[in-house]
Chain A
Amino acid sequence: MKVLVPVKRVVDYNVKVRVKSDNTGVDIANVKMSMNPFCEIAVEEAVRLKEKGIATEIVAVSAGVAQCQETLRNAMAIGADRGILIETDAELQPLAVAKLLKAVVEREQPRLVILGKQAIDDDANQTGQMLAALLGWGQATFASKVEIDGGVARVTCEVDGGLETVLVNLPAIVTTDLRLNEPRYATLPNIMKAKKKPLETVKPVDLGVDVTPRLTVLRVEEPPKRQGGIKVPDVATLIEKLRNEAKVI
């Protein structure tokens, strides 16, 4: 079974982003870029399915600027077999990405697409669900456990207040949550091997997709700062303040 894993290049999760002084966005010039952590979990899950003999081929796909090649090489170093870059300098929003991925799915015919639940830059949490809708497939979101049994995926999903298990007919979409797995580190030999794996580049126009943004960002600003209060010397003072000053207990 072929598995498709879309991966996104984002500002590294350790970088504290700064809002640009003209409020047009956040400053991402000269900051470290990495694969979105939830996408890494998706690649790892696909590789584990391959190690179990369930997945036969893993295709990583990324949409964006030329440097997304690095993200695809990273996915291949973890264990993806080949990569597809949908190259564009245009701003891509989730609906456009879902349409691009739909075109790739129609060409590649995977039985399973595993995506990160959200990217840590725009925090949209949309692409997987949108892709499922466009394909008319079932979806299992925020997965913490995935088992494939014949034509069905049995997925445990994180929901408010606990867990929910669903059976989704293949082909299907799974989006990953944090606890699904712990991605492995790419070893040096695997990083070297990844450089030789096939990487194909296509353009959105080749896929017949209009990627025009539907949302316009008017302004980006720092969130309002919360002012720190006071330090209290002991528990008795804390209780006194909560009772008489804050009046919350």
Chain B
Amino acid sequence: MRCLVIAEHDNQSLKAATLNVVSAAAAIGGEIHVLVAGENAAGAAQAAASVAGVAKVLHADGPAHAHRLPENAAAQVVANAAGYTHILAPATAYGKALAPRVAALLDVAQVSDILKVVDADTFVRPIYAGNAYATVKSSDGVKVITVRGTAFAAAATTGGSATIETVAAVADTGTTRFVSAEIVKSERPELTAARIVVTGGRGLGSGENYQKIIIPLADKLGAAIGASRAAVDAGYVPNDYQVGQTGKIVAPDLYVAVGVSGAIQHLAGMKDSKVIVAINKDPDAPIFSVADYGLVADLFEAVPELTAKL
């Protein structure tokens, strides 16, 4: 067995999700190689080589990978796929755009969003918005897999001393051109990698209240900020704040849900958090059924008080 992990990176460093994928590969067994496809991505390749458990890094460097377009990345993976039994990517926007493309080019199925490795052919994955877990077995010679980051511990960023092999970068397929990215720059930790997450729901009533109530608490805790789908749909905050089955899946040490009712699709995105706190004035809100510490209170009084006393 031999696993190829497709790194998600920004040319200088690895995105945190890559480390969880390395752990999933370790659970499968066999040698672990990491593909870093980028432009001037020596930094990211070096970072991948230091990750514990990685035996070899394949570094493909060229203009086709400047913006990590899935068309070019998939062509690169396929060009280097020989000899691998498993090809793994994170179940992030990047990995989800890329992995099915790789699978189709290899004429194999793709297994999405795995939570657990049962054996080299068998994996557990969520279906129906996490309301059921399916154990699926692949009969294909190559398994193409996306990995839910929160289900696997991050591999250590040090301790590895993999060799870095330069491989020829593929040419641009030419079908797609990158125009621009609007990535929100923030001093806050990234939602999916944060140790503490504070999330606001529809109970806040408005985007101004989100700013007034959630932000100071998050600042005090050094937390990432999130929102329920209801709060996103109501326009309080942008979509990339969304925690839930159709948004981000998070599993921080501490999750504080403020004015969140706890719809099933929201719970699917956060119920693996270590400690959950819910603050809601409705004592029957479903969020309390998963909360370790529930506070039935008016959030407009309780949250400022909490922020002040921390």
A residues contacting B by CB (< 8 A) are: 11, 16-17, 19, 26, 93-95, 98, 120-134, 136-142, 144, 154, 157-169, 172, 177-179, 213-223, 226, 228-232, 234-236, 238-239, 241-242, 246, 248-249
Contact = CB atoms under 8 A, between A and B. Distances in A.
Contacts of B177: 166-168
A216 B139 contact: yes
Given A123-B112, A154-B179, A228-B291, 19 more contacts: A94-B110, A121-B127, A129-B100, A134-B104, A139-B71, A162-B184, A178-B239, A178-B246, A215-B139, A219-B135, A220-B132, A221-B132, A223-B131, A228-B288, A228-B290, A231-B295, A232-B294, A235-B295, A246-B254
Contact of A215 (B92, B104, B136): B136
Given A164-B181, A166-B179, A158 B239 contact: yes
A165 B175 contact: no
Contact of A158 (B93, B105, B289): B93
Contacts of A122: 127
A169 B74 CA distance: 18
Contacts of B98: 129
Contacts of A136: 173, 175
Contact-residue bracket for chain B: 35 or more
A138 B175 contact: yes
A154, A166, A177, A179 pick with most chain B CB within 10 angstroms: A166
A111 to B, nearest CB: 13
Interface stretch (B27-35, B47-55, B155-163, B302-310): B302-310
Interface of B: 69-71, 74, 92-94, 96-105, 107-113, 122, 126-140, 173-184, 190, 192, 196, 221, 238-240, 245-246, 248, 253-254, 264, 271, 274-277, 283, 288-297, 302, 305-306, 309-310
B309 A235 contact: yes
A40 to B, nearest CB: 14
B108 A130 contact: no
* 9 A-B pairs with the lowest CB-CB distances in the bound complex, closest first: A138-B175, A229-B292, A214-B109, A129-B100, A133-B104, A130-B104, A126-B100, A138-B176, A162-B183
Given A214-B140, A242-B277, A246-B292, A223 B246 contact: no
Contacts of A124: 110, 112
A132 B100 CA distance: 10
Given A129-B104, A232-B293, A242-B277, A214 B94 contact: no
Contacts of B70: 129, 139, 141
Given A126-B100, A138-B175, A11 B128 contact: yes
A17 to B, nearest CB: 5
Contact of A164 (B178, B190, B248): B178
B306 A235 contact: yes
A160 B92 contact: yes
Contacts of B71: 132, 138-139
A236 B309 contact: yes
Contacts of A121: 127-128
B107 to A, nearest CB: 8
Given A123-B112, A130-B101, A215-B109, A223 B130 contact: yes
Contact of A235 (B128, B274, B302): B302
A169 B177 CA distance: 9
A166 to B, nearest CB: 5
Chain B interface, >50% SS class: mixed
Contact of A239 (B104, B108, B133, B309): B309
5 contacts: A121-B128, A160-B248, A162-B182, A214-B109, A228-B292
A172 B173 CA distance: 13
A163 B238 CA distance: 10
A246 B305 CA distance: 20
Nearest to B290: A226
A174 to B, nearest CB: 12
Contact of B132 (A26, A120, A161, A179): A26
Contact of B291 (A165, A167, A169, A229): A229
A132 B132 contact: no
Nearest to A179: B239
B190 to A, nearest CB: 7
A138, A232, A235 pick with most chain B CB within 10 angstroms: A235
Nearest to B271: A226
A185 to B, nearest CB: 17
Contacts of A127: 100
A242 B254 contact: yes
Given A133-B105, A178-B239, A248-B196, A123 B126 contact: yes
A19 B69 CA distance: 38
